[in-house]
Amino acid sequence: MKWPFLLMALTAGILIPVQAGINSLLGKAVGGAEAAAFISFAVGTVVLAAYLLVFRISLPLGEIVASSPWWYWTGGAFGAFFVAASVILVPKLGAGVMMSVIVAGQIAASLALDHFGVLGYPARPLDLQRAIGAALVVAGVFFVRG
């Protein structure tokens, strides 16, 4: 059943604006978005390291790392951009507008990735129903914006 995964996704979605708000407050406390993003990622790294140690999960080293394409390593940079951007955007846009615009961007990118079946996503062509769903998300941005 997909319910545990849907619940996990819902929880992650709930935590994203909470994280952005906390990081924005941290940014004010430490004097900038960049420092707050760095601290956030440092704390996340420590938490993940502890998780790996507790569950005895080893990191791949050597040939696996060397043989992977360079762009496999860009996910962390995208995450850093997201965290830094959210620190900057929260006080400027508020949580609702920031998150609705982010979700609109996520939907647009996701539909394109699905349509072309790239980055490991199974190909799922864009159809009228999915296009209408994306349009409703974009319309939602204007309603949330007020």
3-state secondary structure of 72: helix
Rounded Cα–Cα distance for residues 126 and 112 (Å): 8
Give the tokens for residue 85.
């951007």
Q: What is the pTM of this model?
A: 0.84
Q: Which residue has the tokens 């406390």?
A: 29
Q: How many CB atoms lie within 10 A of CB 24?
A: 21
Domain locations in the chain as residue ranges: 3-145
Q: What is the pLDDT along the chain (146 residues), one digit of tens a residue?
A: 699 999 999 999 999 999 999 999 999 999 999 999 999 999 999 999 999 999 999 988 777 878 889 998 899 999 999 999 999 999 999 999 999 999 999 999 999 999 999 999 999 999 999 999 999 999 999 999 97
State residue 65's pLDDT score.
78
State residue 60's pLDDT score.
81
State residue 1's pLDDT score.
67
3-state secondary structure of 132: helix
- 85, 106, 40, 35 alpha-carbon torsion, rounded to 10°: -10
Q: Which H or E element spans position 52?
A: helix 33-54
State residue 88's pLDDT score.
94
* Terminal Cα distance for the chain, rounded: 38
State residue 81's pLDDT score.
93
Rounded Cα–Cα distance for residues 75 and 44 (Å): 14
Angle between helix 3-30 and helix 75-116 axes, rounded to 10 deg: 140
Rounded Cα–Cα distance for residues 97 and 79 (Å): 20
